[in-house]
Structure 1
Amino acid sequence: MSIDPDQIRAFMHQQGEQWNTGDHEGFLATYRAIAPNGFRIEFPVGQPPKDGPTVMDQLWAGYQGKMFMTYPVIAFGANGEFAVIEKVDAPVDGETHTHHTIHSYVVRDGEMLIRYFTDAAPATAATDATRDFLTRQYDHWNAGERDEFFAAYDTFTGDRFDVEFPPGTPPNPGTPMLEQLWHGYQATTKLRYRQIVVAESNEAAVWVGNEREVDGQPQVNNSIEFYSVGDDGLHIRYFHEGH
């Protein structure tokens, strides 16, 4: 089963509306329609995936009617992969408290895997180091500090990293890909990180607003970026609204 961006947008907005209106049967039917062979959810990230309907029923029992979901950013990869920013509004004592979570999805052969990144993971020395690396490399990019930008990668992972862009395609060697992005975009684009979530497994998800001027007008294209740190180095995956 192939899935295109219009189908992805329709799925996300439909299941969000069904959650918000309390349509439990329709909510699960929407998931069955996109994943007729079943779906699993990795929640929290780093734990073994669990049966999707079971997890959804638990979330429904605990939070439906207390939290309302919308999806301001839907970013696309290739081969049935996409990622979203979920905006969660929770009315409490007459005030609405808002937070965001980051999810990634893979839809293939009638099955779907969902991974939920949330801010609930405890901080460790490893996750703090990952968060520090991420903020430094974005800051160096925005300041035009090329040597410092690449040094941040060298210090964190050496040359053992690759970049999958768009996700779902073969990864590219990291340094040449970043050189290409630097020469193509650094002078015109600022990377404003809006949310950084580092899971206990030391995997990170980042919501980035890519700011540039087009015909004298400010324009923002959002990306959702994933960083996975393992014994074999760093793996980066870039999802963009424009892909």
Structure 2
Amino acid sequence: MTTHPTPQEIVTFLKTQADMFSEGRIDDFMAAFRAIAPGGFKVQDPATGPVQEGWDKLEALCRQYIGWKLVVEDVKVSGNEAVIYVRNEGEYDGKPVRVHSMEHYIFGEDGSLLARYFHPMQ
């Protein structure tokens, strides 16, 4: 029987994965997600979109934001759920961009992880 990670494990994971992504360590980033979610990965991006399942979905998201820096400014954990407030710094259409997003993570008892991403309104 798989159980979800502890609140401290969740906090550590959420901060560390952002650092790995920002440093361009995508293999380590993916390994961290697979380790914390051995039951699989699901995503809603944007948060109101359909649930998509599979590690290939996370890999595709990574490719969209290669070179961006993610700074986790705040983490809140309640049981098996967490939200983070993230500063995203990168380049769009050749211009520097800095935006904030909210990310909601639900760690399932089956070892799965659902990530829901809230981006600025376009």
The SS at the match of 1:22 is: coil
Q: Give 1:101 shift.
A: 0.5
The SS at the match of 2:82 is: strand
Question: Could you tell me which residue of structure 1 aligns to residue 101 of structure 2?
Answer: 101
Is the CA contact 2:24–2:66 (under 8 Å) kept in the aligned structure 1?
A: yes
Is the CA contact 2:21–2:29 (under 8 Å) kept in the aligned structure 1?
A: yes
Structure scoring higher RCO (CA < 8 A, sep ≥ 6) equals: 2
Is the CA contact 2:11–2:77 (under 8 Å) kept in the aligned structure 1?
A: no
- 1:129-168 matches, cutoff 5 A: none
The SS at the match of 2:55 is: helix
The SS at the match of 1:45 is: coil
Question: Could you tell me which residue of structure 2 aligns to residue 5 of structure 1?
Answer: 7
Give the residue type in structure 2 aligned to 1:97.
Answer: V
> Which whole-Å CA distance do the structure 2 matches of 1:113 and 1:2 have between them?
12
Deviations 1:153-203 (A, max 9, x none): xxxxxxxxxxxxxxxxxxxxxxxxxxxxxxxxxxxxxxxxxxxxxxxxxxx
**Matched pairs, number:** 119
1:111 counterpart = 2:112 = yes
Q: Give 1:111 shift.
A: 0.6
Gaps of 5+ in 2: none
> Which whole-Å CA distance do the structure 2 matches of 1:81 and 1:108 have between them?
9
> Which whole-Å CA distance do the structure 2 matches of 1:57 and 1:120 have between them?
23
> Which whole-Å CA distance do the structure 2 matches of 1:96 and 1:74 have between them?
25
Question: Could you tell me which residue of structure 2 aligns to residue 88 of structure 1?
Answer: 88
Give the residue type in structure 1 aligned to 2:43.
Answer: I
Question: Could you tell me which residue of structure 2 aligns to residue 34 of structure 1?
Answer: 36
Give the residue type in structure 1 aligned to 2:118.
Answer: F
Is the CA contact 2:100–2:120 (under 8 Å) kept in the aligned structure 1?
A: no
> Which whole-Å CA distance do the structure 2 matches of 1:56 and 1:88 have between them?
17
Give the residue type in structure 1 aligned to 2:84.
Answer: V
Give the residue type in structure 2 aligned to 1:32.
Answer: R
Match of 1:62 among 53, 61, 64: 64
> Which whole-Å CA distance do the structure 1 matches of 2:57 and 2:86 have between them?
17
Q: Give 1:40 shift.
A: 0.2
> Which whole-Å CA distance do the structure 2 matches of 1:85 and 1:97 have between them?
17
> Which structure's CA Rg is the greater one?
1
**Shift in CA distance, 108/70, structure 1 to aligned 2, threshold 3 Å:** same
> Which whole-Å CA distance do the structure 1 matches of 2:33 and 2:57 have between them?
13
Gaps of 5+ in 1: 122-243
TM-score w.r.t. length of structure 1: 0.45
TM-score w.r.t. length of structure 2: 0.85
Question: Could you tell me which residue of structure 2 aligns to residue 20 of structure 1?
Answer: 22
